[in-house]
Chain A
Amino acid sequence: MNGNARLEMRFQVNGNDFIQAGEASSKIKRTLQQIGIDSRVIRRVVISSYEAEMNITIHAYRGEILFTIWPNLIQIVAQDEGPGISDLEAAMQEGYSTAPENVRQMGFGAGMGLPNMKKNTDEMQIETEEGRGTRITMKIYL
């Protein structure tokens, strides 16, 4: 599938770095605007990638966002080294959050990030291992 990819981008995301957080998503947005993708699709992509980026920033140690666009598909892979998600079913519920207090004070930790990602993508697959990390693969069809 990589053979005919129109474009691939890779971004490092560091745990706890709230200054850099969001950079990957804003670069992805700019790229999608430049190649003329529909603004409603751009919105779904950036919401999903931003939530994934923030989850690495808040919950993991380090990770990366891999963004690929094919003629009829956009894929975002967010993978990290981190604690993993111990109760995936709970994590997918709106309102479930283990975000620490200092992060909640910033307005994160509503427990709506994963549900937002699910709602804004056509497919979402989560692989996670406790103590190792998490990989989330999201697809949006064009």
Chain B
Amino acid sequence: MTLSEIVRQLDLKVLTFMPENDLEVRYGYASDLLSDVLGQAPPGALWVTLQCHPNVIAIASLLDLSAVLLVGGILPDQATLERGQETGVTILSTELPTFEIVGRLYQLGLRGSTRSCLDG
């Protein structure tokens, strides 16, 4: 599923901008612990979190994550938005809480890790 398709199907708000070339997104990772994301998030994953500050964007950029999806209607402050613009990280937002949005992403075919994907 491409990022723009996910945004459309789940009615996500785009807070920065979409990548110039649409991305194929196969993995997701949901966590609010930053070192957990650094250690575990699959390359290119869509990161679901309620953490919202510039360091979150820095991590997404370092790991080449496909986007940061903020849950529960959280809106980032100006510094976080600017960091997203500067580093080209797509920041998305949903009104839904984590459990709900992750369930929907799973239904769209996203998986949590390389291993669970290989297991089928």
Contacts and interface: CB of A to CB of B under 8 A. Distances in A.
A110 B34 CA distance: 8
A18 B62 contact: no
A47 interface: yes
B38 A51 contact: yes
Interface residues of A, number: 24
What is the interface of chain B mostly: helix, strand, loop, or mixed? helix
B62 A26 contact: yes
A19 to B, nearest CB: 7
A10 B34 CA distance: 25
A109 B38 CA distance: 13
B43 A43 contact: yes
User: Which bracket fits the contact residues of B?
Assistant: 20 to 34
B36 A110 contact: yes
Which of B33, B38, B51, B61 neighbours the largest number of chain A CB atoms within 10 Å of its CB? B38
Given A22-B55, A106-B55, A116-B38, A50 B62 contact: yes
Given A50-B59, A112-B33, 15 more contacts: A18-B55, A22-B55, A43-B64, A47-B38, A47-B39, A50-B58, A51-B38, A54-B34, A107-B49, A107-B55, A107-B56, A108-B55, A110-B35, A115-B39, A116-B35
A29 B51 CA distance: 23
A26 B87 CA distance: 10
Interface string A105-131: 011101111011001000000000000
